[in-house]
């Protein structure tokens, strides 16, 4: 798990904060579906509603693919938030696009992968957000089981959990993110979205998200 570029990481974080795709509430935590209490909520789908931010993120993800996965033959988006991002990148690179559901469709062809399945095709997976990496790696496993050669994954943002790093490392999957929690914190302070008193609490959450709060 690595950052594409430190300068880009700061710019992406600042843009996500400005459009409130990233919200920080250490005093009034959010509750995730897992039950974890969190001082941060990240909804990168909001970037799609802001053309300048959408285009910036698209261009950076395109560069990630070109520099790190130059042999890519297709782009795959992870449902649901990775679908529009992946489609934008596939269009910019003039590559085929597919997407992966979290589970097989309950009717019709009952597909888990939508689009043309080509065994042996080299694919890069696009994700909007990586937390523990569980759902992302499940999508990658589905692609491999269908015969694709997964070159790696590119994502907009990651919380930088040690668990996620270990999960991707154990799976042997290269993950490159545009920005992460560490790059976001100074941008939040500079823009007055958080203050110095919040820093300790925000730092502690990332170390132990399952017990924080």
**28 a known binding residue?**
no
Which residue has tokens 């958080």? 194
- Regarding pTM above 0.85, the answer is yes
**135 a known binding residue?**
yes
Q: What distance in Å separates the CA atoms of residue 132 and residue 66, rounded to the nearest whole number?
A: 26
pLDDT at residue number 14: 97
Which residue has tokens 């790190």? 68
Q: What distance in Å separates the CA atoms of residue 110 and residue 133, rounded to the nearest whole number?
A: 24
**198 a known binding residue?**
no
- Predicted confidence pLDDT, tens digits, the chain (213 residues): 899 899 999 999 999 999 999 999 988 899 887 788 999 999 999 999 999 999 999 999 999 999 999 999 999 999 989 999 999 999 999 999 999 987 665 444 457 899 999 999 999 999 999 998 999 999 999 999 999 999 999 999 999 998 899 999 999 999 999 999 999 999 999 988 888 788 888 888 988 888 887
**130 a known binding residue?**
yes
**67 a known binding residue?**
no
**133 a known binding residue?**
yes
- H or E, element range at 175: strand 175-180
Q: What Å distances lie between residue 151 and 71, 93, 117, 191, 204, CA to CA? A: 8, 16, 16, 37, 33
**105 a known binding residue?**
yes
pLDDT at residue number 108: 44
């Amino acid at each position: 798990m690595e950052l594409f570029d430190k300068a880009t990481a700061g710019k992406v974080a600042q843009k996500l904060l400005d459009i409130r795709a990233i919200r920080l509430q250490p005093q009034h935590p959010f509750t995730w579906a897992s039950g974890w209490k969190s001082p941060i909520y990240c909804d990168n789908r909001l970037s799609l509603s802001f053309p300048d931010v959408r285009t910036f993120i698209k261009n950076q993800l395109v560069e990630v693919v070109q520099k790190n996965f130059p042999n890519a033959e297709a782009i795959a988006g992870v449902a649901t938030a990775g679908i529009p991002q992946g489609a934008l990148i596939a269009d910019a690179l003039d590559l085929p696009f597919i997407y992966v559901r979290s589970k097989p469709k309950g009717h019709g062809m009952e597909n888990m992968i939508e689009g043309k399945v080509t065994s042996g095709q080299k694919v890069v997976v696009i994700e909007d957000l990586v937390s523990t990496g569980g759902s992302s790696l499940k999508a990658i496993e589905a692609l491999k089981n269908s015969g694709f050669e997964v070159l790696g994954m590119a994502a907009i943002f990651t919380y930088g959990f040690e668990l996620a790093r270990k999960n991707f490392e154990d799976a042997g999957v290269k993950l490159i993110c545009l920005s992460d929690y560490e790059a976001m914190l100074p941008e939040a302070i500079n823009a007055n979205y958080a203050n110095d008193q919040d820093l300790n609490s925000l730092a502690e959450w990332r170390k132990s998200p399952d017990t924080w709060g």
